Structure 1
Amino acid sequence: MKLLNERKVRFKKNLVGEKEKNKKWIILITLISFLMSVFFLAVSELILQSASSFIAFVTVFVIILIGIVFDIIGIAITAADEAPFHAMASRKYFGARRTLKLIRNANKVSSFCNDVVGDICGIISGTAGALIVVRISQAKSMMESLLYGLLVSGIIAAITVGGKAMGKTIAISNSNYIAYRVGVVLEFVNSKIKIELSKDENRNNNNKKKRGNKTGRNSR
């Protein structure tokens, strides 16, 4: 049996797009991460400062749930297989082409869902947990404050890790189904936006025509 260093093994790199586009995407996703984290941290702190302890716990749970859902989406898109969606797209299934685009851009989808949204949710849930601890531990002894802090942090970490572990299993087992459902939702939203934009464009065109007719009559 030959050792690995006796033979040079070469592996092909997986192509994930053009280098220039990848650089632009990295810069864009970094900027988006910064803006989203600042915005959501500010919003969460404003909500939690005036909310009761129960609402604060619910808010933290919702934030964790959002992170888990996006983690599932990112993994499902990465694990999904293109082959069945080619057939679906040829038969003009609603959302099939959108799903293909997602799968072909799996690295970007994964970066956004898992890294951007997932990490931001993790940071926000940790910050929210700290605010809850501060509120609960008011007028408490140092030992009680420490215990509350450990308990809240442990609960948040357990729910996050356990939820993501369960989510990964669900995502890999049902990757094509989840990817298609995401594609359908995005296609539906996109079609609605296009309809609204086309309506606005038609209104603007009609208004321009009316104005043109009025100016033509006045010139006569």
Structure 2
Amino acid sequence: MINLFASKDLKLVDLSQKIVPPGTPTRPFRVERSYLHDQTWKHEIFTHSHVGTHIESPAHFFENGKDLEQFSLEAFCGRAWFCDFFDVSEAHNEVTADYLEAQLGEKIEKGDIVLGRNCDQENLQKVKQTGKRELLPSFSPEAGIWLRDHGVKMVGIDAHFHLGKNVEKTREFHQILMAQDILLIEGLDNLDQITIAPFVFLAFPYRVEGIDSSFARAVAILER
């Protein structure tokens, strides 16, 4: 069998966040080692479904929303684009519909994936120095409407981007997308390592019935 990734044409980039036990008070990931019946090792894991890189389904927001097991495999992979944000200031820190239209309007197609990426190095440094994460850019609800109306199937962010400027706008963004069964993926990493767009994006969750969200190993497949 041909190993595609041993060729000079393709490479993999890991976009998943590394989790170090025991995690944090709000994002715990505690691991305890013990024995199975045959005296081999097993690990018991104590956590919740929103730790690290994770995919959120409509069941996260709606009581009777679809859970992840109800989505086809095609929902978790596809062609991906960045919404690159370059100018983060108090007056201009939300992605608007016009911003998305200028960047992606002539490129995006139904079934694509969009990832928010903060490209303002001055902003990133300021957040690092002050610890004020509210300075980071975010999607606006109107951006959510634009993404919905253009038929995207997944929207993602890393730790340098928000789904909303505050709790109310974040909830509105979730509702706009999840009402149309559009998935969200949070906790991405290494987005700065991707210099080519579009690219192939994959992030597969556990196949568990009834859960609202799941850990995922997110990967980009790039042409060299």
Shorter-chain TM-score tier: under 0.3
Higher relative contact order (CA 8 A, sep 6+): 2
Normalized against structure 2, the TM-score is what? 0.22
User: Which is higher, the Rg of structure 1 or of structure 2?
Assistant: 1
